[in-house]
Amino acid sequence: MSGHIVPRRIYYGIFAALMTLTLLTVWVAFQDVDTHLWGVHIALNPVIALAIATTKALLVVLYFMHVRYSSKLTKVTVLAGFFWLGILLVMTMGDYISREWIKLPGN
């Protein structure tokens, strides 16, 4: 018994989407997408780059890695993995970003 057989045209479609997104991420890196929000200067380039990378990763996980067609147990396992990665990144960065906000003695 083997896993779900994904039609080849889906693989070709995902490949085309991944290539297009790669070109898009290179192009957008050279564009001026900085913005100002309530007087705060915000560089949007890294945000867009990470959003594109996450879209690409999602396409790979769902279609190339068959998670869309997998059992609920596999889906929960994959989701738990990325959720834990999220905890690591969000809590660590939340700490480092907010350290500058309050001036404490010796800081």
Partner 1 sequence: MSHSPEAASHPALQHHFDSMEQQHGATTLGMWLFLVQEIMFFGGLFTVYFVYRLKYFTAFAAGSNTLDIRWGAINTAILIGSSLTMALAVHAAQTGRRKLLVLFLGFTMLLGAGFLGVKAAEYHEKFESHHVPGPAFHLDSHDKRFQGVDASNVQLFFSLYFAMTGMHALHMVIGLGILSVLLVKSWKGRFSPEYNSPVELTGLYWHFVDIVWIYLFPLLYLVDRYHHY
How far apart CA 31 and CA 50 sit, in angstroms, is 15
Please, are residues 21 and 55 in contact by the beta-carbon 8 Å criterion?
Answer: yes
Site for partner 1 in 61-90 (CB under 8 A): 61, 64-66, 70-71, 73-74, 77-78, 80-82, 84-85, 88-89
Alpha-carbon dihedral 76, 82, 83, 87, rounded to 10 degrees: 160
Q: Kindly state the greatest CA–CA separation across the chain.
A: 65
CA–centroid distance for 42 within its chain: 19
What binding mask, one character per residue, do residues 8-37 give for partner 1 by CB under 8 A, x or -?
x--xx-xx--xx--x--xx--xxxxxx---
Q: CB nearer to partner 1: give 10 or 39.
A: 10
Tracing tokens 């480092």 back to the chain, one arrives at: 96
Sites of contact with partner 1 (CB under 8 A): 1-3, 5-6, 8, 11-12, 14-15, 18-19, 22, 25-26, 29-34, 43, 45-46, 49-50, 52-53, 56-57, 60-61, 64-66, 70-71, 73-74, 77-78, 80-82, 84-85, 88-89, 92-93, 96-97
